[in-house]
Structure 1
Amino acid sequence: MERVRTIAAILAPAILLGALYLGVAWLVGRQLPSQASVAGVHIGGMTPQAATDRLAGKLSNLGEQEIVIDLPGRTVRTKAVTLGLAPDLPATLAQETGLSFDPRQVWHRLTGGGPIPLRSSLDAGRAVAALADDVAAVDQPVVQPQITLTSGTVEVVRPGPGRHVDVAATLAAVQADWPQTRHVQAVVQTEEPQVSPESFDEAVEQVAKPAVAGPLNVVLGRRDNPLTVAQFAPTLRMVAADATMQLRVDTPTLAAVLREHVPALEVAPVDADVRLASGRPQVVPDQPGRSLDEGATAERVRSALSARDGDPPSRRAGIVTDEQAAAITTADATQWGVQHELASVELPAAVADLPDPGAQIANVTTGADTIAGPAGRLLRPGESLSLVQLIGDPTGRYPDAPEPTVAGPAWRPGGGLSQLASALYAAGWQAGVDLGPRRAHDIYLPDYPLGLDATYSWPDADVTLTNPGPGALLVGARVSGQQVQVELWGRRDTAVQEQIGPRRDVLEPTPQGSSDPWSCVEQPLAAPGFAVQVRRDVVRGRTAAPAHVEEIRYEPLHPIRCDGAPPTP
């Protein structure tokens, strides 16, 4: 109990003093200190409301005061009211009224206070609008350097600094000490160009003018190729970098100029090939191509047009090229393994007993040249040979027929292409390549391979060979003497077993007679009709292909004999 009394005795004075301090703080915050004044107007001892009324009356003319703002090259004279500048009385009086427990503030008020700084408000939108015309007249955009060479002459825009009135900072300066200070210096920011005028002038004389002072010689191998200023100037650019103007060469534009004015600048690579020479396949080596290294050449041109160590530009630049490998190299063509004769079929170029053997031989010769030519036709893995696509419509009876893939000489009426079609089909059969559908002859003639003959008639009677790979296939076709020969060359990785069955259901030809001498036409040819089955089994590597089995039916050809001769007209 004694301890409680001791604590109470200690705390009681502190509590009393605290309450007294709060009361004094509240009391001095109800009215202004005795010595308070604003802008020379005495308001000591007044309540905030009374002070507001007094100041409103005494300071009503502040809005008409002149404000002077110094801008570069001109002075703006305006009124405070024009800028939307006015006393902010509540904010001003709040500095010395209201409850505050800060001992310094309480003591200041108890001792009478003193002058109170006048707070102001500013209508920023109104002020900016009032100064807009003057600011616009003073502001200057920075002039960045420009040097243009594309016309072949030096065209320049000399750099210059820019300036910008910081309106917000200027208005803040006006408001900060108003109304005591009514003359302020505008806040102006300057912007320097990327390149100083001195450095710019030096670049014009030492870089730009020498670059277009004469022709440029570009060298490809040992050949000089002069370019006039008008030709190469459109590729030049002057850019600001590292506080100076530097010469650049536009790479795509230069590449286009070089491709236009430098003969044989780029050469396409030529793939390796396999062709027939002296009756055997030979690998024709690939030929690498050449392409322009655009970036490296542009740098050489820039260097050739630039002065160095006080010496004038050399005006001579070597063209940089890259070697372009062929898509099919000599090694690729060699690896195809086109070395072995896989099939060789020889047939008469003109079928006996058919009309116009000369036309037959001519057409077979033209067809052989069309599908193979003297060097043969190479089929890469997966590629096909189609007579319909290569030869087209030799009769000219189909005006809507597409143009053949290979344009050949004119065809002669009289047939012959069936001999080529039969030889090509029989060779593909023997070699074990993939064969498309074919149409056999209706009548068997001994000059055709039994069961493997084929007709050709655009567009629906075709012979198609497809190389199954993995190596290449070389097709040779030629007419020698009275024979048409088709050869297939490739790699020996396919085993072929073929069977030509016996003739079945044979129908012997029966002579036919006619007693009408006006319509009868002698037909001495005769051929039996029969059926025959052909079968081929192919093993490529270790993979057996599905058996190819066909049933071929030939109709009999009956000779026709006339009993009476046609009368003489």
Structure 2
Amino acid sequence: MTDLLEHARWEEPTWEDRAPGPRRWPWVLLGLVVLLGALYAGAAWWLGERVPRGTTVAGVPLGGQTAAEARTTLERAVAGRAQEPILLTSKAGQARIRPERAGVVVDVDATVAGLTGFSMGPRELWHHVNGGVEQPAVVTVDREAFAAAVDKVRKRLDSTAKEGRLSVRSGTVQYRAPVRGTTTDAAGTAAVIERWWPAQDSVEVEADPVLPRTPAAEFERVRAEFADVAVSGPVTVRADGKRFRLTPKQFASALRLPRAKDGTITPRADQDELRSLVHAAAQEAGVEREPKDASVSFAPSGYTKRTVHRGRAGLTLLDESISEQVWKAVTTTDRTANVLTKAVRPTWTVTDIRRTLPKEKVASFTTQFQCCQSRVENIRRGAAAVDGTYVLPGQQFSLNDVLGDTTTKESGYLEAGIIRYGRAATSYGGGLSQVSTTVFNASFFAGVRLDAWSPHSYYISRYPEGREATISYPDLHNKWTNTLDGGILVRARTTDTSITVTYYGTKKYRVTATKGDRYAIEQPTTIVDDDPECIPQQPVEGFSVDIGRIFHRGGEVVDRQSFTTRYDPQDDVTCTNPRAG
């Protein structure tokens, strides 16, 4: 502090030194900056009038060209490309569309405008000096026209979702994974074309996924939780102290894997099929048995000497227990099903059979025939088959079922006369229509329900007019149902010239027959036939006739029934071939 106050220590300038002049370097620097700026601006202006060096648009070199030059060059290059179709590709396929029809156009002016123009930006100026890059063309797409063009080829670009499949029906797990589909996104694809066309004439479409109803995760869950377990091994069924096994191949056909609307899968069993196959397996293994009805056998003649045979109860698995226990065994690792059973009472017990036993003759009918023909042997054989048949109340009698197939040599029946297509012919079993007609008339007068019968195509005089029935295996039937109050024992006896069928049972009705006059008469035609297999025929007129039966009970009429029978004329056939007839 003391030193500062001492004036003697101060240094004063001398009056002889020159004063300093103005400083020049700032002005020089400023001028240099202005000059450089002018040069920069001039270069930017000059370069902005041209496309940056090395620049290409959609593969077309435009570097160094003025805007007008670049426009001309680009128009020439894209004009040809605009005529070539654009290839659209997808995972499903490919299709081609024409740019002009799809509303796809290169905007040359906008493209060139984006490449030139004055800019003071260092980066733009650097690109002009150092060289440009590959640039996309400015492309405009009419979205409506493009969407319409895509819709026309959509079938080749889109793919349908494929549903998966999981099955155990064969006893093994069969699985096919679901596959996603695709649907082309027209708007997204238009954006892709705007970016890449016309530099490349092929683009991959933008697509939205189409999902299957059931995803793979759901299939995999059901496979792990159910399918693999269900067919992992056999199921042992225990019932009534016995056991049998069901293999996956046996029970798998009853398993179902239905899919709900939301795609979820809920395993279940077709209960009817499951129960049916378990019952079948139980019967084969001897665990189940059918009940056996009591029956009756009769002495060779009459109806009074008979023996009643006892039946037996059956055994069956309970359906509800099958559904619960077998399903539980199928769906868990504990492969044993303990199924409950129940006894099955036979339909006919000894007591029931005894109540049905015949008490009297109900009806009898006899038809005549000529002796010593091959058809007589067939009649005897047929009568023997029918004889002794016992029809319980409510049961149906079928003559075809009793006789079986009589139309082959192996049946044991002989060839004899029949009617085929309105003409006389021969076949194995000829003559059995006489057995059928006799059975029909016995049924008619017994008062049972007549279920099925067919008259001959033309009238045969040995049978009652309008009241007869032919038969042919397996199409023409003679069936009736026992509607009486007891069983019916059918007896059939033959002589050299007749067959008699008698029903024994409990008589319910007295039946009388009615018959009207012939009407709608039709005369036969005359036929001359030179066929070696021709059989001559006598003419018989065709006609219709109404028949009926009246049911009497307790002195009163309790029912009436009527039927109409139509006969075709039997043509007059003359055979001219020496080998005929």
Q: Same fold (TM over 0.5)?
A: no
TM-score, with structure 1 as normaliser: 0.38
TM-score, with structure 2 as normaliser: 0.37
